[in-house]
Structure 1
């Protein structure tokens, strides 16, 4: 007769193993287990704390989106406009929608500059899904702030995600078409200027990881985005 204690120990071990695997699977981000907006709660609360200590003036220019916005030294590149930086790294357009009532609408910005969509495609979203998320973001903004201009920076062609470039360009084409149908929306093509003579992304525009921008990359972006801000009323 087998020892009941040994059987119970074996079953307990198997159950623990199953639970451990389940937890690990849920902890890994991906198509089936995406990271939700709750991941950014700490970042959003930090923004809100900043706002309590030094409330930004209403009617300004807001930059929002993923790490390409978060890492941008906006005060250096746009010292004349006092930009508000509300970029949170790794985020998707859907996250900006989710937190719009906390880090977009309260500022009543006259212009919003958005860079997002890069992580969306990397996470497995289709061009149509990313485009619809952009449309939803504009609807959320314009429902409360109908005169606010939204400047969308095209998804960049990067060294690290070069294999996704065709999909990203499909998103860009869809969003550009939408912007052409609404005078409050503007599209900034940063794709073409970031491509070298060899048809691939210019290495000097990127940090060592081949994804985020170098100082040269931000200089280029600044030169391309600034005309859209000068035109802002």
Structure 2
């Protein structure tokens, strides 16, 4: 069942629970908004280094989608009476550092980063959104790469690996590094949000640890499946 500010607990006043919930949602939307803005900038830059115009169009289209996601997050924050820039600012250093640590060396690594990181990020926020109110859940659900774009990206990677089998070991290693960094990033963001503990008047650190474990396990399993689709080991 979704948690909303309209479900007070006997031990916590309705006003306190409402404020706690709203702060969590603003914090969450701010982190998503800055992540989407950063993804737009990164994909747009990576697209300019593509070996062909058709390849450039794939990442270019993904970049446009990411900017649309950013605008949707900002619109939701404004509906809540919040300044999007203020909501995003606590995450700037964390997200920028992540992209600096995972800077691709070439076009091949850029594609793999898009394939791995976008999927993990989207699944992470979708898992959290299950606990939120319907309007917020809906806007977060819209922050996903389309099936068409996913199929194009997968096809590009498969073709690339088929044309140069020597890439397999390097990209498998790069994929493992990316998933490690991405899961660490999830833990950092999750720690800042306390993994929904703040939304429940009876929330505990034990409940937070269980939530962390559940989300990370799901993300890891899904990543392994995606790598298998490429014929690579996770």
Give me the TM-score of the superposition, normalised by structure 1: 0.30
The structure that has the greater radius of gyration is 1
Relative to its length, the structure with more strand (as a share) is 1
Give me the TM-score of the superposition, normalised by structure 2: 0.30
Identify which of structures 1 and 2 has the higher relative contact order when contacts are C-alpha pairs closer than 8 Å and 6+ apart.
2
Relative to its length, the structure with more helix (as a share) is 2
